[in-house]
């Protein structure tokens, strides 16, 4: 576990009440492990509203857009829950902080719940936000013609957000599927955004897995080319063999069971956000997001990228019926902690709260 990040999260959680009125900048997203924004965008909060801290594995990534968008739309307040968003670049660290009790929920890929069950821990996704990973494998432009598929990953330096993240999971799977033992490659945690692009420009990595808006920036300035594209259903199924549900809100099962009313309020906010996304254009969505979410790539490029991948968002919040089995097949291919284990997929997610969700005006 990254102890510095854990300590920062603990400090942020303890300080969240006193800082709520002044710590929120336009982005609501700060560096790894520091406090993000509270749920209230304007006006007085309901003092009786339950407070929940959610750590998001890279808040400015478009794949995690619903967490901040729900705040920008005022849906947390309307649902009656006070949400503190904490930005953590890597999903693995976010999961560790959840297990340590430093945060109540994680905005990350559903597949972590399968990996946790294999280790004797119980967590579950309470709402599914992405039905497609939205991940892209980029390679440095000078390697075009040399790296043609993951079969060429042997001996390569590969960028992931961090060890234990879903990009780590998927990179290992794609390598194994294409005949390369993951032990024959080096995977480096380089985060996303400017740190990812810098690693590629400095040739610290040959290829790497990332998302929008980093993809558009790296491709548009000639730093990289696209090797594999999982921003579409077709690309995702070709790479992974089926529907791969990605972003979700997941929590420890014990916490969910003890706080069902609070979980329902959260899910009400997120289902309403997913519905809002379906009824609005990429430009309208971008207008709601903090300006520094797209300052690196530019708003026009951000909107274009969002428009092209808007189909990644789950319109209902329900877990795709064939999704968990695909995720298990992927993890079981390379992860020794999962391979051969008896996994009860029905305990890794629940549709209970989505099915009971009440739309917010």
pTM of the model: 0.86
SS3 for 212-231, per residue?
CCHHHHHHHCCCEEEEEECC
β-strand partners of 251:
105, 124
Q: How many residues does the chain have?
A: 361
Mean pLDDT on 280-290: 97
| CATH 3.40.190.10 domain locations along the chain | 3-132+245-355, 136-229
Q: What is the pLDDT of residue 218?
A: 95
Confidence (pLDDT) at 90? 59
Ranking 40-44, 154-158, 182-186, 304-308 by mean pLDDT, the lowest is 40-44
Residue 234: pLDDT band by 50, 70, 90 thresholds?
very high
> Phi, psi (5° rounding) for residue 154?
-55, 125
Q: Tell me, what's the pLDDT at 215? A: 95
pLDDT digits (tens, 9 = 90+) for 177-218: 999 999 999 999 999 999 999 999 999 999 999 999 999 999
Q: Give the span between the Cα atoms of 289 and 38, in whole angstroms.
A: 15
Q: Is the pLDDT of residue 23 over 70?
A: no
> What is the rounded CA–CA span in Å between residue 41 and residue 225?
39
Q: What does the pLDDT read at residue 361?
A: 82
Confidence band for 112, pLDDT divided at 50, 70 and 90: very high
Range 320-339 average pLDDT: 94
pLDDT band of residue 24 (cuts 50, 70, 90) is very low
Q: What is the pLDDT of residue 46?
A: 76
Domain 3-132+245-355 has CATH 3.40.980.10: no
Whether 7 has a pLDDT exceeding 80, the answer reads: no
How high is the pLDDT of residue 45? 63
Rounded CA-CA distance 156/138 in Å is 13
Looking at every residue in the chain, the average pLDDT score rounds to 88
In the chain, the percentage of residues whose pLDDT exceeds 70 is 86
Which whole number is the average pLDDT over 343-351? 98
CATH code for the structural domain at 136-229: 3.40.190.10
| Angle (deg, nearest 10), helices 233-240 and 166-177 | 60
Query: What is the arithmetic mean of pLDDT over 324-329?
Result: 96
Helix (H, G, I), strand (E, B), or coil: what is residue 127? strand
- Quickly count: other Cβ atoms within 10 Å of residue 142's Cβ: 12
């Amino acid at each position: 576990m990254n102890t510095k990040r854990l300590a920062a999260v603990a400090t942020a959680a303890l300080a969240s009440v006193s800082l709520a009125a002044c710590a929120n900048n336009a982005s609501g997203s700060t560096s790894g492990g520091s406090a993000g924004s509270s749920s209230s965008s304007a006006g007085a909060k309901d003092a009786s509203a339950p407070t929940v801290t959610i750590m998001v594995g890279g808040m400015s990534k478009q794949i995690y857009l619903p967490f901040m968008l729900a705040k920008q739309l005022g849906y947390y307040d309307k649902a009656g829950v006070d949400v503190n968003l904490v930005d953590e670049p890597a999903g693995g660290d976010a999961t560790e902080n959840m297990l340590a009790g430093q945060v109540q929920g994680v905005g990350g890929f559903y597949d972590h719940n399968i990996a946790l069950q294999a280790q004797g821990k119980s967590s579950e996704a309470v709402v599914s936000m992405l039905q497609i990973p939205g991940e892209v494998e980029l390679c440095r432009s000078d390697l075009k013609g040399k790296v043609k598929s993951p079969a060429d990953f042997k001996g390569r330096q590969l960028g992931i957000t961090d060890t234990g993240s879903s990009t780590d999971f998927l990179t290992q799977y794609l390598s194994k599927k294409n005949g390369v033992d993951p032990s024959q490659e080096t995977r480096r945690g380089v985060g996303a955004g400017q740190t990812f692009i810098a690693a590629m420009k400095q040739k610290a990595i040959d290829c790497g897995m990332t998302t929008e808006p980093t993809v558009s920036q790296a491709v548009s300035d000639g730093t990289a080319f696209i090797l594999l594209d999982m921003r579409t259903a077709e690309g995702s199924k070709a790479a992974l063999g089926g529907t791969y549900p990605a972003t979700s809100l997941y929590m420890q099962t014990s916490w969910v069971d003890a706080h069902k009313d609070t979980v329902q309020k959260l899910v009400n906010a997120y289902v309403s956000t997913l519905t809002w996304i379906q009824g609005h254009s990429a430009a309208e969505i971008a207008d709601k997001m903090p300006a520094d979410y797209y300052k690196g790539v530019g708003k026009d490029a951000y909107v274009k990228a969002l428009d092209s991948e808007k189909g990644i968002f789950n319109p209902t919040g329900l877990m795709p019926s064939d999704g968990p089995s695909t995720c298990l097949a992927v993890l079981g291919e390379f992860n020794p902690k999962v391979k051969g284990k008896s996994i009860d997929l029905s305990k890794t997610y629940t549709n209970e709260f989505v099915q009971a969700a009440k739309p917010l005006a």
